[in-house]
Structure 1
Amino acid sequence: MFERISIKQLNDLMESGKPLHIVDIRDPQSFAAGHIINAKPLDNSNVQDFIANTPKDDHVSVCCYHGNSSQGAAQFLAEQGFTNVSSLDGGFEMWKLAKADKVEV
C-alpha cells in the first residue's frame, strides 16, 4: 500500500533529515531538463537494482509528470516489500510551480 502526498508533505520529508528516496519515472529527456533536487531517475533499466539496494523501510516517494503514473509505480514498489511508499500529487509539473528553488537541472 502507498499513500498520496502533497507537495508540502514531500517538502517536509525532505527537510526532516530522515532517509528519503525520491524517484522520478518521467522520460530521460524530461528528467534531464529539470527534476526535484536529489531525485533519481527510475525506469525498467534500473528498477531491479533500486529494489535490491534500497532499504525497504526507508521512505520512497515516486514522482511523474502530474501524479497519475506515479501511483502505479508506487503500488509496484509497495508490492516489492517497501513499507513506506508515496506518490506525489500534482507530480513534477506542480512541484516546479510551487518549489522552483528545489528543482535542479
Structure 2
Amino acid sequence: MSDFQRIAPDRAQALREQGAVVVDVRDAQSFAQAHIPGARHLDNHSLHDFIAQADLDQPLIVSCYHGNSSQGAAAYLASQGFREVYSLDGGFELWRANYPAEIARTVSE
C-alpha cells in the first residue's frame, strides 16, 4: 500500500488507544510547546532512523499544524513501506480543540 487515509481526531484517538504510533512533523519548538501525548517528533534529521527502527505493520498517524503538511509526510511514509498510514485532518489545532485534556509538553529546563 502506498496510500494513506485522512482521518478525524476521534478516529485518531481510537487508533491511538489501540496502539497506533503518532508522529508530529511540526517544527521542534511547536512540538515542545504542545503535542499529542506519546507523539514522536519527526523531522529531516530523525526520519531515516525512525523508518529504519519502525514496525511497518503498526498503524501510523501523522500530525502537523492544520492537516496539510501531514498529507505529504503520510504519502512519503506509505511509500517507504508503512502499511497503514493516516493523516490527521485538521492537524494538531483541531486535535487541541477536540481533546484539550490530551496535550503533552516537553519540558526543557
TM bucket normalised to smaller: over 0.9
Letter in 1 for 2:17: E
Structure-2-length-normalised TM-score: 0.92
Pairing of 1:24-39 with structure 2 (within 5 A):
24-39=24-39
| Contact 2:16 2:22 (C-alpha < 8 Å) held by counterparts | no
- Listed as ranges, the gaps of 5+ residues in structure 1 are none
Structure-1-length-normalised TM-score: 0.95
Of Structure 1 and Structure 2, the greater strand share is in: 1
Instruction: Look up the match of 1:73.
Output: 73
How far apart in 1 are the matches of 2:54 and 2:40?
Answer: 12
| Contact 2:26 2:65 (C-alpha < 8 Å) held by counterparts | yes
User: Deviations along 1:27-59, whole A, 9 cap, x unmatched?
Assistant: 011001100010010000010011000011101
RMSD in angstroms over aligned alpha carbons? 0.7
Letter in 2 for 1:15: E
Deviation at 1:77, TM superposition (A): 0.2
Pairing of 1:1-105 with structure 2 (within 5 A):
1-16=3-18, 19-105=19-105
How far apart in 2 are the matches of 1:55 and 1:23?
Answer: 13
| Contact 2:66 2:94 (C-alpha < 8 Å) held by counterparts | yes
Q: Percent identity?
A: 49
How far apart in 1 are the matches of 2:17 and 2:53?
Answer: 23
**Helix, strand or coil for the counterpart of 1:102?**
coil
Of Structure 1 and Structure 2, the greater helix share is in: 1
How far apart in 1 are the matches of 2:55 and 2:37?
Answer: 20
The 4+ residue runs of structure 1 with deviation greater than 6 A are none
- Aligned length, in residue pairs: 103
